[in-house]
Amino acid sequence: MTSRKGPSGIPNYLQATLIYNPNAGRIRRHMRLVPSLLRVLEQQGHHVTPKATGGPKDATELARHAVTEGADVVIVAGGDGTINEAVNGMVGSKVPLAVLPAGTANVLAMEMRMGGDPHKAARMLSEMEPQRIGIGLVKDEDGTPRRYFLAMAGAGFDADVVARLDAKLKNSLGKVAYYIAGFQSLGRTLPELEVDLGTGTRKRCSFALTSHVRNYGGDLEIALGASLLREQFESVLFEGSNPWVYFNYLFGVVTKSTPKIKGVTMLPTNSMAFYPVGQDIVRLQLDGEEAGNLPARLELVPDALTLLMPPAFVRRERERWTT
């Protein structure tokens, strides 16, 4: 690590790599955003090398290269999908990951109470606390690793929404495009899956969310028992193949009464397996991006990543789980 402390006693990063997605919502709409973020970071005393992604999975290779070349921090300006790609290039390293929200939902940034202003996040970089956390790993049924995820994995209904999402609508309407894709499912029976929780029993549902964060989509909270600082997931299972039941579930989420809603199961987990029911194709999403179909196995990998977090968030989370 080549960071050093400046006159105020807070760290300056001397070999920072900024990975940004030119197609991320805010960056695409504001061409001068990245240069202005670089100015803010440099004004804080950081030496930053910008690296633009050119296509899918580029952030993984850029992050892996940054770690190999001795970066003392990897900063990602983009959405949760770009963050996910970078994480897959950093697992197991000690180099910290920092997030500048510039995507559509910014689930991770919202979870850490950073807000949606990437300039504010850039000014906070030196104040952030490095926290070692566990992350999720998805494997194929035969145990072959498929992909890591940081915030959440969803199987069934929400993954189908992600798969149906119109990229042009997402670019123009942002999060509204997800609701449009969701409403397109109202006229059909939802495919179901079975979840093996490792207890020898299986539970059937049409949407299984395995989450390390409470935040969902930037506006809602579903996995109320989840925390980035816990070496455990919170899994939430929603039963029923009739899509209209999701209006009831949505009411429960909005009113934070989800645990009381009939057809919802919430429980802490460290590993599980998802299987499609019958001949249905059941999709999987990781951190808001398509990740193939079921079957799949999920497990938590402890002590896998260093994430920079606001001190106030760390303090609240620790108080939450010790009181």
Give pLDDT tens digits for 39-90: 999 999 999 999 999 998 999 999 999 999 999 999 999 989 999 999 999 9
**Over residues 226-247, mean pLDDT:** 94
- pTM of the predicted model as reported, rounded to 2 decimal places: 0.91
Give the pLDDT confidence score for residue 6 in this predicted structure. 47
Contact 32, 22 (CB under 8 A): no
pLDDT digits (tens, 9 = 90+) for 268-321: 999 999 999 998 899 999 999 999 999 999 999 999 999 999 999 999 999 987
Cα 227 to Cα 80, 151, 286, 305: the distances in Å are 17, 10, 17, 15
pLDDT above 90 for 104: no
Q: How confident is the model at residue 23 (pLDDT cuts 50, 70, 90)?
A: confident
pLDDT above 80 for 138: yes
Give the pLDDT confidence score for residue 218 in this predicted structure. 73
Pick the residue with more confidence: 61 or 103? 61
Closest CA to 307 of 78, 108, 117, 136: 108
Cα gap 184→197, rounded to integer Å: 30
DSSP 71: -
Give the pLDDT confidence score for residue 5 in this predicted structure. 55
pLDDT above 70 for 257: yes
Q: Where are the domains of the chain?
A: 4-127, 136-302
The set of residues, in sequence order, having a beta carbon less than 8 Å from that of 85 and lying 6+ positions away, is 53, 56, 57, 58, 59, 60, 63
Contact 225, 265 (CB under 8 A): no
Give the pLDDT confidence score for residue 105 in this predicted structure. 81
Mean pLDDT estimate for the chain: 90
Dihedral, 166, 154, 107, 29 alpha carbons, nearest 10: -10
Give the pLDDT confidence score for residue 214 in this predicted structure. 95
Q: How confident is the model at residue 198 (pLDDT cuts 50, 70, 90)?
A: confident
* Fold of the domain built from segment(s) 136-302: Tumour Suppressor Smad4 (2.60.200)
Token pair of 207 as six digits: 């949407």
Pick the residue with more confidence: 172 or 131? 131
Q: How confident is the model at residue 185 (pLDDT cuts 50, 70, 90)?
A: low
- The share of the chain scoring above pLDDT 70, in percent, equals 89
Over its C-alpha atoms, the chain yields an Rg (Å, rounded) of 19
Cα gap 31→254, rounded to integer Å: 35
pLDDT above 70 for 237: yes
Give the pLDDT confidence score for residue 161 in this predicted structure. 85
Instruction: Annotate 82-104 with b (16+ C-beta within 10 A) or e (fewer).
Output: bbbbbbbbbbebebbbbbbbbbb
Give the pLDDT confidence score for residue 1 in this predicted structure. 47
pLDDT above 50 for 7: no
**Over residues 141-160, mean pLDDT:** 95
Give the pLDDT confidence score for residue 24 in this predicted structure. 79
Give the pLDDT confidence score for residue 172 in this predicted structure. 58
From 3.40.50.10330, 3.30.410.10, 3.30.530.20, 3.30.1240.10, which CATH number describes the 4-127 domain?
Answer: 3.40.50.10330
Give the pLDDT confidence score for residue 220 in this predicted structure. 87
**Over residues 256-270, mean pLDDT:** 94
